[in-house]
Amino acid sequence: MKAVPNRRRQSRVASGFANFVFCAVIVAAFALFNAAQKALIAQGSIELNALKEKYTAAKQLNDSLKLERAKLASPQRVGQIAADKLKMVKPEKVSYIRLETPKADDKRSMAMAGGSPGAGFLDGLREWMGAFDSSRSR
């Protein structure tokens, strides 16, 4: 009879030990998962800092290139190169021809311009093209 309680005690100890091992494995799994998460967060933080540094460097380079472009495209520099290297000179006097445009209410100026009062540019062009086509067919 004494063997029966001993077996029960052994099975209770074995099941208690199994429960302890199971709980220990669950706690270890959570600990490993937590450590892996923290490692990924730390790695992402490092990559983010590296990208921020690259962005700052690229922005500074862009600003310096914009400044250099502005210096190279300045009118004074272009004029200096044109004068020194290309031997270009500014003209002394610039002459302009001023053309009077005919007014719509001035019939005489419209007749001199080859149009009729109220006729638009496209109408005059159509008349001219028609005259051109009729002269070609002869």
Q: Tell me, what's the pLDDT at 136? A: 53
Distances (CA, A) of 6 to 12, 17, 79, 126: 10, 16, 109, 121
- Look at the pTM and tell me if it is higher than 0.85: no
How does residue 1 score in pLDDT terms, banded at 50, 70 and 90? very low
SS3 for 91?
A: coil
The pLDDT tens digits for 71-111 are: 999 999 999 999 999 999 888 888 888 877 766 555 555 55
The dihedral over CA atoms of 117, 123, 124, 127, expressed in degrees to the nearest 10, equals -120
* Mean pLDDT of the region 106-128: 61
Mean pLDDT of 40-49: 97
What average pLDDT score do residues 13-19 get? 85
b/e map 7-18, b = 16+ CB within 10 Å: eeeeeeeeeeee
More confident residue, 56 or 7: 56
Residue 100: name the closest of 89, 88, 84, 112 by CA: 112
